[in-house]
Amino acid sequence: MAEKQGDLQIGEVAQRTGVTQRTLRFYEEKGLLRPPSRMDGGFRLYSEEDVKRVQHIRRLQDLLGVSLADIKEMVDADEVLRELRSQYRPESAITEKRKQLQKATDVTKAQFAIVKQKTEQMREMETQLEERLKLFARWKQELDELEKKAAPSRG
Amino acid sequence: MAEKQGDLQIGEVAQRTGVTQRTLRFYEEKGLLRPPSRMDGGFRLYSEEDVKRVQHIRRLQDLLGVSLADIKEMVDADEVLRELRSQYRPESAITEKRKQLQKATDVTKAQFAIVKQKTEQMREMETQLEERLKLFARWKQELDELEKKAAPSRG
DNA sequence: TCCAACCTTGACGTTGGCGTAAGGTGTACC
DNA sequence: GGTACACCTTACGCCAACGTCAAGGTTGGA
């Protein structure tokens, strides 16, 4: 198997996502990334989808600050989503589908709750910091004027 | 020195803040909390201020997900703020004050930048998740209707 | 055919943020 | 002054999330 058009080796993926190759292998090991296809010699071949996935994982890490285990749960829900998208499937599996959909919904709702709560608190913090900056600005003003009075332009 | 009115032992602080005693000592060790006063026997005595400080640290940890080293920088800025509040001080120290104020302002601005960026991204994620939930809801509808047609009330 | 650049799988190392156990001391209350 | 409980320091332990070799195989071009 030669390198298929559009596929990426691990080095390129690392560059484009800003993580190390070690991290990519680590994510694979932990089940956060599906094992990619390989070249004949064993080199990993990633797709654009994989790149997006990595970026998604990083966003979750950075923004939510949750563990990779939790993130795995979340991206697994993504996988379910993709699977469900391939509608054409045995009708017998409809109960299964329903279960998967339920699971995905639950996970997403949980995630949504976290995000909502955090945005809320972040906004609070944002205004607090804003207030503080204003306060600092006023103090600086006062300092400036104090200095002007203490040592009026002696030039 | 008996236990002063209004002061708290480490156990109470732990309970009220939801962290362990170990964590409180650890924060002290790392300079995130000023060494509290002590009873004659060596028991730590915390103030209400300390409690607030711990809660603040935890919020920073949880929301921003930054290292304790970074948080130290931030809460040190708080300390500067408190010091600057005691205005009555030798005039000779005005240059020093200015420097401290500058530093505090810088740190606060940096923090503000982080918070702002994160809130932004969080809001994006929020809407994404909302969309996804809607999609899931629609799919569930479809599944329901599909089932109704496949097996119409056979009672 | 040969080489440089790229990749592979182990396997051990590191850092942050605490947990936990040991062995001893303080405090409060009867 | 005994006892039950809260606290003290010291020090080793632990887990997540990678970092960092080491020793070798693959690829693609000259």
Residue nearest to nucleotide D20 (CA to C1'): A22
Q: Which residues of B touch A108 (CB under 8 A)?
A: 129, 132-133, 136
Q: How confident is the model at residue A2 (pLDDT cuts 50, 70, 90)?
A: low
Contact assignment for B115 to A122 by CB distance below 8 Å:
yes
**Which whole number is the average pLDDT over A90-97?**
72
For the segment B86-132, what is each residue's pLDDT rounded down to a tens digit? Answer: 765 556 578 888 888 898 999 999 999 999 999 999 999 999 999 99
Q: Token pair of A68, please? A: 């990779």
Query: If you search the block for the tokens 């935890």, which residue do you land on?
Result: B58
Give me the CATH topology for the region A10-149. Multidrug-efflux Transporter Regulator; Chain: A; Domain 2 (1.10.1660)
Given CA atoms A126, A127, A132, A137 in this order, what sign does their dihedral have? positive
How far is B139 from B129, CA to CA, in rounded Å?
15
Identify whether the C-beta of residue B54 lies closer than 8 Å to the C-beta of residue B19: yes
Using the CA of A57, give the nucleotide whose C1' is nearest: D17
| SS3 state of residue A67 | coil
Q: How confident is the model at residue B1 (pLDDT cuts 50, 70, 90)?
A: very low
Distance from residue A40's CA to nucleotide C4's C1', rounded to whole Å:
20
Q: Determine the distance from the C-alpha atom of residue B100 to the mean position of all C-alpha atoms in its chain, rounded to a whole number.
A: 23
Q: How confident is the model at residue B155 (pLDDT cuts 50, 70, 90)?
A: very low
Distance from residue A33's CA to nucleotide C3's C1', rounded to whole Å:
34
Identify whether the C-beta of residue A33 lies closer than 8 Å to the C-beta of residue A50: yes
Q: From the list B63, B84, B146, which residue is nearest A118 (CB)?
A: B63
Count Cα atoms within 13 angstroms, Cβ side, for A85.
8
Distance from residue B11's CA to nucleotide C27's C1', rounded to whole Å:
14
User: Chain D positions under 7 Å from a protein CB?
Assistant: 6-11, 16-20, 25-28
Question: Is the model's pLDDT at A105 over the cut of 80?
Answer: yes
Domain ranges for chain B, please list them: 10-150
Using the CA of B22, give the nucleotide whose C1' is nearest: C18
Instruction: Output the furthest CA–CA distance in chain A (Å, rounded).
Output: 93
CA angle B74, B77, B78 (to 5 degrees): 95
CA distances from A119 to A64, B16, B53, B124, B149 (A): 10, 24, 22, 10, 43
Helix/strand/coil (H, E, C) string of chain B? CCCCCCCECHHHHHHHHCCCHHHHHHHHHCCCCCCCEECCCCCEEECHHHHHHHHHHHHHHHHHCCCHHHHHHHHHHHHHHHHHHCCCCCHHHHHHHHHHHHHHHHHHHHHHHHHHHHHHHHHHHHHHHHHHHHHHHHHHHHHHHHHHHHCCCCC
Q: How confident is the model at residue A3 (pLDDT cuts 50, 70, 90)?
A: low
Q: Token pair of A51, please? A: 């790149």
Mean pLDDT of chain B: 88
For the segment A13-72, what is each residue's pLDDT rounded down to a tens digit? Answer: 999 999 999 999 999 999 999 999 999 999 999 999 999 999 999 999 999 999 999 999
Give me the CATH topology for the region B10-150. Multidrug-efflux Transporter Regulator; Chain: A; Domain 2 (1.10.1660)
